């Protein structure tokens, strides 16, 4: 299916605590936060989704996101599953990754994995934003 990206981003609030990851050629920032209270701005570079918190800011150029992909994996440390959503550009690069964030390693909050599965069922394991 296809859907507007803002609709999906707002639905991601149901996932609870996330680890948002942005990677440049040589650096990585990761913040732990739910995706919540988004606001939007039309800028010359594109339509942005934004989030401001006390200690960090997040900006996403939605026009550049060509595919959204649900992905499970193995945790690097510990024997448990990771649940990610990748926001990919036309070059198939993950411009943004959102992982379900556990409390203790592998211990997700009640309902968190179910919410991820529900979003995947609703939007599709891989889909293109409108």
Residue 64 binds its own copies, judged by CB under 8 A: yes
Sheet with 94-100, side-by-side order of all strands = 2-3, 126-129, 67-74, 81-88, 94-100, 18-23
Residue 43 binds its own copies, judged by CB under 8 A: no
Cα–Cα distance between 27 and 10 in angstroms, integer? 27
Residue 38 binds its own copies, judged by CB under 8 A: no
Residue 93 binds its own copies, judged by CB under 8 A: yes
Tokens of 92: 């198939």
Tokens of 53: 């918190």
Residue 82 binds its own copies, judged by CB under 8 A: no
Residue 109 binds its own copies, judged by CB under 8 A: no
- Which of 6, 11, 23, 109 contacts its own copies by CB under 8 A? 23
Q: Which helix (H) or strand (E) holds 125?
A: none
Residue 130 binds its own copies, judged by CB under 8 A: no
- Which of 7, 30, 114, 130 contacts its own copies by CB under 8 A? 30
Residue 104 binds its own copies, judged by CB under 8 A: no
Cβ pair 68, 129 in contact under 8 A: yes
- Which of 39, 44, 55, 74 contacts its own copies by CB under 8 A? 55
Strand pairing report for 126-129 and 2-3: parallel
How many other CB atoms are found less than 10 A from the CB of residue 65?
22
Give the binding site for its own copies (CB under 8 A): 20, 22-33, 54-61, 64-65, 87, 89, 91, 93-96
């Amino acid at each position: 299916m296809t859907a507007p990206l803002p609709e999906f981003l707002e639905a991601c609030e149901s996932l609870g605590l996330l680890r948002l990851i942005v990677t440049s050629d040589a650096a990585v920032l990761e913040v732990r936060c739910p995706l919540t209270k988004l606001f939007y701005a039309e800028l010359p570079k594109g339509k942005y989704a934004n989030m401001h918190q006390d200690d960090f800011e997040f900006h996403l150029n939605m026009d550049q996101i060509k595919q959204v992909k649900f992905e499970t994996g193995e945790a690097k440390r510990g024997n448990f599953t990771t649940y990610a959503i990748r926001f990919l550009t036309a070059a198939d690069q993950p411009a943004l990754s959102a992982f379900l964030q556990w409390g203790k390693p592998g211990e997700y909050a009640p309902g968190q994995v179910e919410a991820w599965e529900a979003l995947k069922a609703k939007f599709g394991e891989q889909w293109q934003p409108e």
